[in-house]
């Protein structure tokens, strides 16, 4: 596996001083900044959009890892590209009902969405809710259409939820077939749960309150790196 990327979720930052918070956390060791975009429809919560990303870009050169939990992600591709997003991750479930998808054949709507993201100059990621099988992404990964897969280990929409250990095993399924893939895990990630995530094959960690709410965020991030380094010394275990 490649080196660990830590992408703290700014949803847990102090929004009154968001630019300063982002600068501080990057200086303390964060690799990316994870930006959760929720529309109040695909998920029940409502957060921020492209205008905030555009404002932050004026104050930060960090990699903006944007996770769109929205009903019609294609609608926002151009806006986020213009705002300065680097990674545009959309939900598979927002494009097509997973029951209509196959693990052996690519769906044209998913292909089109991924291609549109890249055409706009961003990297393309796809997110999976905890109940969506990882195998449904195989056709797109095999065609090289995706730069990253985001595995949700909580139900999307709110921060501070409990880590779902069963969901993280999807990382192992993907890692076995795609050893160089960016596999991001998001939801309930702490210095403790990072161990299971790393052992399953994740190499991008999203954490909100565990980092922004910590007395020593740098120490928490270091603990996550240590967990990853230990797991990297042994192969990811594939669930039976």
Question: Which residues touch 141 (CB under 8 Å, ≥6 apart)?
Answer: 149, 174, 177, 178, 181
Terminal Cα-to-Cα distance of the chain (whole angstroms): 22
Active site residue ranges:
36, 186
Where do runs of H (alpha helix) occur along 59-181? 77-83, 92-95, 108-119, 138-142, 165-177
**What are the C-alpha distances in Å from 166 to residues 75, 101, 186?**
32, 22, 13
Residue with tokens 């300063």: 20
**What are the C-alpha distances in Å from 219 to residues 68, 211, 230?**
29, 9, 17
């Amino acid at each position: 596996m490649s080196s660990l990327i830590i992408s703290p979720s700014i949803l847990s930052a102090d929004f009154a001083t968001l630019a300063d918070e982002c600068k501080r956390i990057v200086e303390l060791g964060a690799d990316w900044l994870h930006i959760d975009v929720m529309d109040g429809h695909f998920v029940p919560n409502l957060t921020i959009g492209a205008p905030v990303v555009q404002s932050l870009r004026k104050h930060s050169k960090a990699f903006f890892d944007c996770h769109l939990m929205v009903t019609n992600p294609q609608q926002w591709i151009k806006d986020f590209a213009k705002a300065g997003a680097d990674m545009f991750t959309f939900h598979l479930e927002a494009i097509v009902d997973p029951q209509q998808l196959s693990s052996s054949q690519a769906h044209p709507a998913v292909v089109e969405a991924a291609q549109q993201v890249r055409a706009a100059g961003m990297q393309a990621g796809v997110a999976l809710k905890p109940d969506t099988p990882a195998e449904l992404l195989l056709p797109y990964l095999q065609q090289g259409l995706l730069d990253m897969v985001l595995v949700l280990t909580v139900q999307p929409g709110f921060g501070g939820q409990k880590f779902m250990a069963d969901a993280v095993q999807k990382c192992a399924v993907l890692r076995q077939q795609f050893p160089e893939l960016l596999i991001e895990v998001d939801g309930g990630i702490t210095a403790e749960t990072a161990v299971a995530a790393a052992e399953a094959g994740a190499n991008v960690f999203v954490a909100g309150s565990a980092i922004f709410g910590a007395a020593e965020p740098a120490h928490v991030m270091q603990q996550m790196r240590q967990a990853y380094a230990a797991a990297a010394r042994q192969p990811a275990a594939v669930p039976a």
